[in-house]
Amino acid sequence: MSSKYADVAARGGRGKKRKALLAEQQRRLLAAGDASDASLPASAAYTRLVDFEREVDATLGRRKAEVNEALKRAERVPRTVRVYVYNTFKPASKSIVTPAEGGGKDRGAKRGARSADGATGAPIEEEIEPASWTLHVQGRVLSQDEAPDGRGDKHADAECDLKFSSFVRSVEVRLDPAHYAADSLPPPEGQGAEDDASVGPSVIAWNADDASPDAPAVDGFEVKRHGDADCVCKIILRIDHQPERYAVSPRLAAILGVDLETRPRLIGALMQYVKLHDLLDAEDAGTVVMNDALREVFVDGAGLKGNGKGLKGLRVTDGDKALFADIAERLHDHLEPAPPIEIDYVIRTRGTRNPTLPECYDLLLDVPSTATSGYHQFVERLGRDREIDACDARIKAALRKIEEHERRRKFFLEFSRSPTAFINRVVAAQARDVAVVRHDGATRREAERNKELYDQPWVDEALMRYISRKGTG
Domain ranges of the chain: 76-92+130-243+340-368, 245-337
Residue of higher predicted confidence among 129 and 398: 398
User: Using omega within 30 degrees of 0 as the cis cutoff, is the peptide bond preceding 99 cis?
Assistant: no
Give the pLDDT band (50/70/90) at residue 88: very high
Whole-number pLDDT of residue 70? 66
Span 297-322, mean pLDDT?
Answer: 59
Whole-number pLDDT of residue 48? 82
Span 54-76, mean pLDDT?
Answer: 75
Span 230-256, mean pLDDT?
Answer: 90
Cα separation, 330 vs 290, in Å, equals 14
187: DSSP letter? P
Residue of higher predicted confidence among 67 and 404: 404
Residue of higher predicted confidence among 87 and 368: 87
Predicted TM-score of the model (pTM): 0.54
- Given a cut of 50, whether residue 111 has pLDDT beyond it is no
Whole-number pLDDT of residue 322? 87
Whole-number pLDDT of residue 108? 45
Say which CATH superfamily domain 245-337 falls into. SWIB/MDM2 domain (1.10.245.10)
Whole-number pLDDT of residue 104? 47
CA 334 to chain centre: 35
Instruction: Look at 5-9, 154-158, 434-438 and tell me which has the smallest mean pLDDT.
Output: 5-9
Span 272-288, mean pLDDT?
Answer: 88
Give the pLDDT band (50/70/90) at residue 173: very high
SS3 156: strand
Cα separation, 265 vs 80, in Å, equals 18
Span 400-425, mean pLDDT?
Answer: 89
Residue of higher predicted confidence among 240 and 375: 240
- Given a cut of 70, whether residue 379 has pLDDT beyond it is no
Whole-number pLDDT of residue 56? 84
Give the pLDDT band (50/70/90) at residue 193: very low
- CATH of 76-92+130-243+340-368, picked from 3.30.300.30, 2.60.40.1970, 3.40.800.10, 2.120.10.80, is 2.60.40.1970
Q: Considering the chain, what percentage of its residues have pLDDT values greater than 90? A: 17
- Given a cut of 90, whether residue 359 has pLDDT beyond it is yes
8 A C-beta contact, residue 270 and residue 327: yes
Helix ranges restricted to H, 160-211: none
Residue of higher predicted confidence among 274 and 153: 274
Give the pLDDT band (50/70/90) at residue 194: very low
Whole-number pLDDT of residue 32? 61
Residue of higher predicted confidence among 29 and 151: 29
Which DSSP helix (H) or strand (E) runs through 404? helix 386-417
Residue of higher predicted confidence among 343 and 15: 343
Give the pLDDT band (50/70/90) at residue 451: confident
Span 205-224, mean pLDDT?
Answer: 87
**Which residue type does 301 have?**
G
Average pLDDT value for the chain: 75
Span 157-167, mean pLDDT?
Answer: 74
Alpha-carbon distances, residue 129 vs 34, 63, 408 (angstroms): 92, 65, 83
Span 336-356, mean pLDDT?
Answer: 91
Instruction: Look at 64-68, 237-241, 442-446 and tell me which has the smallest mean pLDDT.
Output: 442-446
Residue of higher predicted confidence among 246 and 194: 246
- CB burial class (10 A; 0-12, 13-18, 19+) of residue 87? buried
